[in-house]
Structure 1
Amino acid sequence: MRIVLASASERRKDLLQIICNNFDIIVSNFDESCIMYNGDVKSYVMDLSKGKAMNVCNSLKNSAIVIGCDTLVFFENSILGKPKTKEEAYHMLKKLSGNIHKVYSGITVIDSNTGHSISDYVCTKVQFSHLTDDQIEKYIDSGDPMDKAGSYGIQGQAGVFVEKIDGCYYNVVGLPLNKLYYMLKRIGVNL
């Protein structure tokens, strides 16, 4: 069965290659702003992943298993998305400095042939060390935080900011492989 990753993320592509060596990528053009955050971060992130997967699923002419995913950083009852400016990245990293935050990923797997879908989520706690302004500014100058939820990527230079994690490392990168593997099995895909 054809597998389609509904994502433009290079990180998700690289992670999916760990468990699946043959898949296609079709970038979802789902409008995330149509999903309103109602205070339930778990439902919100699953709804985003389902929207992305459904958007791609509806564009297919042949049957496939479609994987949608969305990852966000949650701290002090706020969602920290991708920063729009360097100043926003600075403020996010300053908030995370010396604190524990949560990274949520919602995953949806859809069989386009049957319409059967499964949505689930993963949450990982991440503890940052105390960061100096110099560390934060140097990291922002690298350009790395600008396309990442919470303004950091654990798999890159910001890995040194992470004191410890409680949960799935791959979730923090952007695609929780253990959860995805067993969701694919449940829908009938044996990798």
Structure 2
Amino acid sequence: MRIILASASERRKELLKRILGDFEVIVSQFDEDQVRFNGDCGNYVIELAKGKGMDVVSNIKDNNSLIIACDTVVFFNGKVLGKPKSEEEAFSMLKELSGNVHHVYSGIFIYNKETNSIMTDYICTEVKFSNLSDELIKKYIESKEPFDKAGAYGIQGYGGIFVERINGCYYNVVGLPLNSLYKMLKEMGVNL
């Protein structure tokens, strides 16, 4: 079976290699702004992942294909923190998260084109940040690490020093919850 990851994320590719030896990447062209946040973060990330996945599905002619899509957001104080678009936005996000608990949500979408079956799920991990000084935040922003990451930090990089504790799946915070994905793939009949 042809397995396709619908993602441009290097982190997702690296993590998927840990459980799947052979897969290809097709980057989705889905416009995430099409999905409106209605207050339910779990449903929101599933809809984002589904949008990405179905965009790739529509371009695949091979019925012997399985498409995997995922989307991750940071949720704090009733709002979604996506990828920062500027240094100022990154600073504002990190300042908000400083000393507080936030939640990281990932939605997973799997589509088996042969059987026309779909599985979706979402995972939530609680993350507690230490208090961050303005100097530390500015130094981190200078590294350019925050700009392709939801919530303006990467737990697997230098941003890991901000994290006091987590409750839940570490790989979810990185961007691909391996345990949940593994179980879903097994349930879809993928031989791992």
Question: What's the TM-score, normalizing by structure 2?
Answer: 0.98
**Residue 73 of structure 2 corresponds to which residue in structure 1?**
72
**Residue 150 of structure 2 corresponds to which residue in structure 1?**
149
Q: Which amino acid aligns with 1:109?
A: I
**Residue 61 of structure 1 corresponds to which residue in structure 2?**
61
1:3 matched to 2:3? yes
CA distance in 2, matches of 1:11, 1:140: 19
CA distance in 1, matches of 2:2, 2:178: 18
**Residue 41 of structure 1 corresponds to which residue in structure 2?**
41
CA distance in 1, matches of 2:125, 2:34: 26
What is the number of equivalent residue pairs in this alignment?
191
**Residue 14 of structure 1 corresponds to which residue in structure 2?**
14
Q: Gaps (5+ residues) in structure 1?
A: none
CA distance in 2, matches of 1:55, 1:186: 23
**Residue 126 of structure 2 corresponds to which residue in structure 1?**
125
CA distance in 2, matches of 1:134, 1:6: 37
Q: Which amino acid aligns with 2:15?
A: L
1:50 matched to 2:61? no
* Offset at residue 54 of structure 1 (A): 0.8
Identical aligned residues as a percent:
59
1:33-81, Cα deviation, whole Å (9 max, x unpaired):
1111111111110011011111111110112110010000000110000
Matched residue SS, 2:18: helix
CA distance in 2, matches of 1:36, 1:135: 33
* Offset at residue 112 of structure 1 (A): 1.1
RMSD (Å), alpha carbons = 0.6
Matched residue SS, 2:21: coil
**Residue 183 of structure 2 corresponds to which residue in structure 1?**
182
Q: Which amino acid aligns with 2:176?
A: L
CA distance in 1, matches of 2:79, 2:169: 21
* Offset at residue 2 of structure 1 (A): 1.1
Which 4+ runs in 1 deviate beyond 4 A? none
